[in-house]
Structure formats: C-alpha cells, structure tokens
Amino acid sequence: MDNNVNWKKYLGLSLLLFAAFLLEYPALFVIEMLIMRMNIWDYTANQRSVHHLIMVIIWTLYLCFIIFYSREHYGFPQKKEKTNISTKNWVVAASCLIFCKIMTFIDWHTLKIIGEFQGKSVFQFILQYL
C-alpha cells in the first residue's frame, strides 16, 4: 500500500460509515413494515427489541462490507507496529471515564445502566445494548 494515502479516501470511507446510521430509515419504513405491519409509533417494548435486533444485523452486514471494501481497494487497515499506551494517556482516559460517570449519575440520579434496567425485561435490556 502507498504510504501517502489520499485524504479523499479517508473522507469517503468516513461518509460511508456515517451513512450506516441512515440505514435505520429503510429498516423502519420497509423491512419492519413488512414484518410487523404496524405503525412505528405503536411498537410495544418487545417490538422495539426486534427493531434493535434487525438493526444489529443490518449494521453488522454493512460494516463487514465496508471492511472488505477498504481492504480490497485501499489496503486498510494498515498493519503497524504494536505500541504501548503511555501512563499519561491511561490517566487521561480514566479521568474522562470517571467524569462521564459522574455526569450521568447527576443526570439519572443513579448509574445509567441501573436506571435503564428498571422497568425492562432482560431480553429488552440486552437487545438495547447490542
């Protein structure tokens, strides 16, 4: 692979990856209408879980396509030397994580994962996080 990769290749792949979020619209308005035959505003909790499962399948297929496409056309991802993460970077990452947890605790008045689990079945909770 060429070490001087054109920035347009990175931009193109980034836009293709961002487009994966737009795949939710065909899933909602085409695939799920054919399967569940009801308005998206009338979904029950279990039907929302089915929606999550459908989106996981669609996004997985799309990401596999992007990975194979980037390998075939651009030689991405490049294999690099294994580097160690510095202690300073670990401290910064841990500080950001702690700050984020404090902010969500203030917002939810509990840990977010506990707040989201309340009122949901185990099936709904697991599919929400896929």
Reported as a single tens digit per residue, the pLDDT across 110-128 is 888 888 888 778 877 887 7
For the entire predicted model, the pTM comes to 0.61
Q: Where are the domains of the chain?
A: 1-80, 82-121
Q: What tens digit of pLDDT does each residue of 76-102 get?
A: 767 677 778 899 999 999 999 999 999
Cis peptide before 77 (omega within 30 of 0): yes
Residue 2 has pLDDT above 90, yes or no: no
Supply 99's token pair: 């700050």
CA torsion angle 53 58 64 66 (round to 10): -140
- pLDDT band with cut points at 50, 70 and 90 for residue 43: confident
Of 49 and 61, more confident: 61
Specify the amino acid at residue 7.
W
User: Within a 10 A sphere around the Cβ of 99, how many other Cβ atoms?
Assistant: 10
Beta strands in 12-123 (DSSP E): none
